[in-house]
Amino acid sequence: MATLDRVSAAAPIGRRDRKKAETREALRRAALELALEHGYEQLTVEAITEAADVSVRTFFNYFASKDEALLGSDPQRAELLAAWVAERPPDEPPVAALRAAFAQLAESFAEGQPLWEARMELLRRSPQLWGPLFAGFVVFERSVVEAVAARTGSDPDADLYPGVLAAAAVGAMRVAVAHWRAGGESAPLPELVISAFDLLAGGLKKP
Chain contacts with its own copies (rule: CB under 8 A): 93-95, 123, 127-128, 130-131, 133-134, 152, 154, 157, 160-161, 163-165, 167-168, 170-172, 174-176, 178-179, 182, 192, 195-196, 199-207
Nearest C-alpha neighbor of 168 from the set 189, 195, 146, 141: 141
CB of 175 to its own copies, least distance (A): 4
CB nearer its own copies, residue 82 or residue 136: 136
Q: Which DSSP category does 153 fall into?
A: T
Nearer to its own copies, 78 or 166 (CB): 166
The distance from CA 79 to its chain's CA centroid, rounded to whole angstroms, is: 10
> CA-to-CA distance for 4 and 60, rounded, in angstroms?
23
Counting beta carbons within 10 angstroms of the beta carbon of residue 141, is it exposed (0 to 12), middle (13 to 18) or buried (19 or more)?
middle
Q: How far is the CB of 141 from its own copies (least distance, A)?
A: 9
Nearer to its own copies, 9 or 182 (CB): 182
Closer by beta carbon to its own copies, 38 or else 174: 174
Q: State the minimum distance, in angstroms, from the CB of residue 24 to its own copies.
A: 25
Neighbours of 25 (CB within 10 A): 16
Q: Which residues contact 22 (CB under 8 A, 6 or more apart)?
A: none
Q: CA 64, CA 59: separation in Å to the nearest integer? A: 8
Pick between residue 62 and residue 109 the one whose CB is nearest to its own copies: 109
* Minimal distance, residue 181 CB to its own copies, in Å: 12
Cα torsion 193, 195, 201, 204: sign: negative
**How many Å separate Cα 106 from the centre of its chain?**
9
Beta carbon nearer to its own copies, 48 or 98: 98
Q: How far is the CB of 71 from its own copies (least distance, A)?
A: 12
- Min dist. Cβ of residue 95 to its own copies (A): 5
